[in-house]
Amino acid sequence: MKFLVIGASGFVGRNLLAHFRAQGFAAIGTQAHSREKGLATFDLLRHRITNSIDSSFFQGPEPVNAVISAVISDMDLCLTDRVMAHAVNVEKTIQLINDLGDLKARITFLSTCFVFDGKTGYYNEAAARTPANEYGRHKIEVEDYLRSHVPGAFVPRMDKIVGDNPRDRQLLAHWHKRIRENLPIICLEGSLLSPTSVSDVAQGIVLAAEKGLTGIYHLANSEFFYRDELARQFCFSLGKMPNVVTRPLAEFNFPDNRALKSYLDGSRFAKETGLRFSSMREVFQSFARRLQDAPPE
């Protein structure tokens, strides 16, 4: 197999690309602006994929699995700059999907728990979609397009993705920075999530490609936590007394809504792929080991 990661400069995309390469797969990653070495420049608003990736990569007997991770993920920006965000997240993403289809690539489109409003939680793939915010509506538009026009696409929905790298821009690294600076970890009150290791996401996408999975799956850990309890357990794992504060949603003054109960039921995906998701305890322990080996800058 071959992999093309659209949006490989972000936390998820960068880790996907690294995993694919570590497994020995031919893999190319893109970024919107030329900042990181080893990534092709591809801006959804300005470029077509054939202008950025040589067509020879799509030739040969090995299928190219195109993973679309590029997105305006700032949920508030999706509301405050609707025209631009919709152009990137929907219009240009659909154009990209069509261009990749012409190149015979298999589509993996990363979707989100925010297609649900978060009022009940523990959503499975059959749950009715009631988007929490504008970002969730964007994802639904692309999901619907794929369902109608690209039935062979794989669409994993995910909740909070975390990692064990203290230098990554991700939740655990942010919490560790607060701990080091003797600042409280501020958590959204009532936020119930299914934190999933980014390594498991990468492994899951490989398994899905190997097994030819199509349609919507929830690629999410079976564990779920209130956000503040997850923070406390993270502190304990590092031998620190928790300094965790919860605040209600209204006090954050977000321009757009958030889904409080965002946790997903990933049992169908686990059953069909055999993937054993990492426990948060395992992720915490790995984070601590990496912290000792290479303290964050």
Residue 34 confidence class, pLDDT cut points 50, 70, 90: low
- The domains found in the chain, sorted by start residue, are 2-159+198-221+265-278 (3.40.50.720)
The residue-averaged pLDDT of 242-252 equals: 97
> Cα–Cα distance between 255 and 74 in angstroms, integer?
11
pLDDT score for 186: 98
> How many percent of the chain have pLDDT more than 90?
94
Contact indicator for 86, 77 with CB cutoff of 8 Å: no
**Residue bearing tokens 């929490």:** 132
Q: How far is 28 from 20, CA to CA, in rounded Å?
A: 9
List pLDDT tens digits, range 166-222: 999 999 999 999 999 999 999 999 999 999 999 999 999 999 999 999 999 999 999
Give the distance, in angstroms, between the CA of residue 1 and the centroid of all CA atoms in the same chain. 21
Mean pLDDT to the nearest integer, 114-141: 98
Residue 209 · residue 154 · CB < 8 Å: yes
Mean local confidence (pLDDT), 249-264? 97
In this structure, are residues 85 and 138 in contact, taking their beta carbons and an 8 Å threshold? yes
Average pLDDT over all residues of the chain: 96
Would you state the pLDDT for residue 121? 98
Least Cα distance to 257 among 143, 151, 95, 132 occurs for: 132
Which amino acid, residue 180?
R
* Local confidence band at 35 (pLDDT 50, 70, 90 cut-offs): confident
* Model pLDDT for residues 133-154, shown as the tens digit of each residue: 999 999 999 999 999 999 999 9
Tabulate helix, strand, coil % of the chain (nearest 5). Answer: 40, 20, 40
How many whole angstroms separate alpha carbon 133 and alpha carbon 297?
A: 35
Judged against a pLDDT cut of 90, whether residue 4 lies above it is answered with yes
**Cα 194 to Cα 219: distance, rounded to the nearest angstrom:** 10
Q: Six-digit token pair at 237?
A: 């794992």
